[in-house]
Structure 1
Amino acid sequence: MQSNAQTVVVLGTGGTIAGKAADAGDNVGYTAGQVGVQQLVQAVPALALVPLEMEQVAQLDSKDMSHEVWRTLALRCEQHLARPEVAGVVITHGTDTMEETAWFLQRVLAPGKPVVITGAMRPSTALLRDGPQNLLDAVAVVRSGQARGVVAVMSGQVHAAQRFRKVHAYRVDAFDSGDAGPLAVVEEGAVKVFGEWPRGEALGTAVLGGDAMQWPQVEVVTSHAGAGVAVVKALVSAGVKGLVVACTGNGTIHRDMEEALIEANRQGLAVLRSTRTGGRILPTIHDSLPSADELPPAKARVELLLRLLSA
């Protein structure tokens, strides 16, 4: 690492990593977002020798992540990454919406320096808390001098923003990148790389505007046995600008719901198909609506939102 790029900026947003429970044996009955980012860093003695800057951007349970926090994160990352002395940014984040935030930041920033998102599946009060090691590993990825783009670091694995998703509600190894596998692993502070770091063309923070409350409303609907038209019609009437369909199989939709979506699309509603099963949607001669390829429904919603903001 060059001498003019040694500083790691740690941005705190809350989450389980900052959570507390009344009982150290309670791994699920905690309250998220209770511990400040400075305390999180101080709980990892090995970080005492690392040049760090801490900033509390938000303090929430990531199930309650908002567009305004996303906008603020993007702006703060952009500002810090532009500083020559900064090697990269670490974001402490709840796991529920971590994959969405990662994809949002990758599409908006596509940074040449690393932005590493990390968190925990156990609260800070747990007997076997995983947060401190995840934070230490995240800083190691930034300081390795190898990384770029937005990645997530959890349980010793490094995942590219586009591919990783939460696949388990409880285990500490709750994240997976599907067929691609992890981008890298962190072993005792050393980063072993298997693939290419995330790249892409940045949309730029200008597309986010000055008020996230003005962003177009994009929702997710699910196709399933017996799916009807009521949900689609209600959302269209409510003024949504885009809908992502969590489809069955290879991007298929119940015929009744599909008819309603095709009609809404003809009238100007933006629609993307995403499979609820994992994997990517392969094109067929029967496709009547565009697909999100390999993006799962939550990330497809982020993608559609950004397309609408960029239009």
Structure 2
Amino acid sequence: MKTLRRLAPTVPLCIAALLAAPVAHARTLCTVIADADTGEFVVKQGRCDERVTPASTFKIALALMGFDSGFLKNEHAPVLPFREGYPAWNESWKQPTDPQRWLKYSVFWFSQRVTYALGKERFARYAEEFAYGNADVSGDPGKGNGLERSWVSSSLKISPLEQIGFVRKLIHDQLPVSRGASEMTRRTIEAIELPDGWTAHGKTGTAYPKMPDGSSDEAHGYGWYVGWITKGKKSFVFARLDQDEKKASPPTGLRVRDSLLPTLPALLGPTAK
């Protein structure tokens, strides 16, 4: 059975204050929430149509590809070993990893195992069929590294509005994959219990813009939190995108998630009843 994280209740704040409060050292580029059934916006604030790197939020799409292709079997299979030479920017990545752990800890090398198993043509075809942002998984110009990192500060870009459109298709089984792949992806994505009976399902993402010399601009990292929130028969899709104004820790995406989650039920307001 899937383990749910619980978020402690917080004191309600006014909607304007919730929207205005950015992550420390960051500015909010977009907050968008929509009814998952009708697509009607509940909140739409900021530059929500501008595309940036999806970073690790793309793991939602990768999970769909992996389960549909058969490379991924279920939440706990396959278990892949960490090997020397794999990216290991985080100590939590240096362990055997299954699909659920991959998404929870955002294990970069596991993503690469999925893309290598797919191969360039099938990987590109899935991105096109999903209509995922600009669907460009070619990677950095002239480097041929699309399978390695096209979704991290590279060729692939998506807007917050496109993110929630993609999530709506996922939860309604409207993407060109098997129903089993959609169901398994939804089961594998981290779920967090919120106050008042709500449950949020989502994925964080952090990436740094490229400088002219190819280095990473770690002072202006992008941070995403993308997913859906449910209570009974009510479901809403959401995307939040921030950008740091100075170097900070933990990673921007984690700070976005932790600042947005306590506010989500209040942001829904009367539409949630």
The TM-score range, normalised by the shorter chain, is: under 0.3
Which one has a bigger Cα radius of gyration?
1
Relative contact order, higher structure (CA 8 A, sep 6+)? 2
Question: In proportion to residue count, which structure has more helix?
Answer: 2
TM-score (norm 1): 0.23
TM-score (norm 2): 0.25
